[in-house]
Chain A
Amino acid sequence: GENVEQHPSTLSVQEGDSAVIKCTYSDSASNYFPWYKQELGKGPQLIIDIRSNVGEKKDQRIAVTLNKTAKHFSLHITETQPEDSAVYFCAASSAHYGGSQGNLIFGKGTKLSVKP
């Protein structure tokens, strides 16, 4: 089955610096790759996602890149702020349009700390 590896497990940056989190997946059938942010006591919040027909996607300070050949995808956060501090999860699934939404296979998470 699908396996998703996420690195690093913890990341500490200074406010204003960039943060990069990397994930690799094993199933070449995976076609959907979301990133979630989870704050203490809350459920995961979708922050950005990318599908396999796209190599890069950006939303303000957040960007995701996908390399299908190498089976890895990365989250880039620029100009980090203290409120970016949280646990970030990558995930992969092989959903099919009109069918099952596909079970998300999650990485183990990265605890990001942004120091003011």
Chain B
Amino acid sequence: KAGVTQTPRYLIKTRGQQVTLSCSPISGHRSVSWYQQTPGQGLQFLFEYFSETQRNKGNFPGRFSGRQFSNSRSEMNVSTLELGDSALYLCASSSPGPTSDTQYFGPGTRLTVL
């Protein structure tokens, strides 16, 4: 089974721009979560989507948004980029059922804001 895939792997943007990152979960997985990883703050939860609905949300400003499509693929968008948004953005997926809490991560998208 293919793992979680994320595109693009690397991205360079300038302040004020917006960016869209994409995540394809493991086949059959319906839940997708997004995390931000920085050296200072570590791994922080952004939001979770299930069946095209946001089911859980972390403590990030409204500039961070996401969506999920009917095929479970997910995108996250960051508007009005700030220097502090430079980070590794990770997507994780899980399958429904007794082990719905087991999350599998993709390789991440490295975003650099100049």
Q: Are A95 and B100 in contact, CB atoms less than 8 angstroms apart?
A: yes
Q: Are B106 and A43 in contact, CB atoms less than 8 angstroms apart?
A: yes
Number of A-B contacts (CB under 8 A): 65
Q: Given A34-B102, A43-B106, A49-B102, does the pair A89, B43 have CB atoms closer than 8 Å?
A: yes
In angstroms, how far is the closest chain A Cβ from the Cβ of B108?
5
- Which residues of B lie under 8 Å from residue A89 when comparing CB positions? 43
Residue-wise, chain A 66-85 has the 8 Å CB interface mask toward B (1 for contact) of: 00000000000000000000
Interface residue count on the A side (C-beta < 8 Å): 27
**A82 CA to B107 CA, complexed, in Å:** 22
In angstroms, how far is the closest chain B Cβ from the Cβ of A16?
29
- Which residues of B lie under 8 Å from residue A25 when comparing CB positions? none
The majority secondary structure among interface residues of chain A is loop
**A99 CA to B94 CA, complexed, in Å:** 12
Cβ of A88 within 8 Å of any chain B Cβ, yes or no, is no
Residues of A within 8 A of B (CB): 32, 34, 36, 41-46, 49, 89, 91, 93, 95, 97-109
Beyond A45-B105, A105-B45, 20 additional contacts (C-beta under 8 Å) are A34-B103, A42-B108, A43-B107, A43-B108, A44-B105, A46-B104, A46-B105, A91-B43, A98-B100, A100-B55, A101-B31, A101-B33, A101-B50, A102-B56, A102-B101, A103-B45, A104-B33, A104-B45, A104-B92, A104-B103
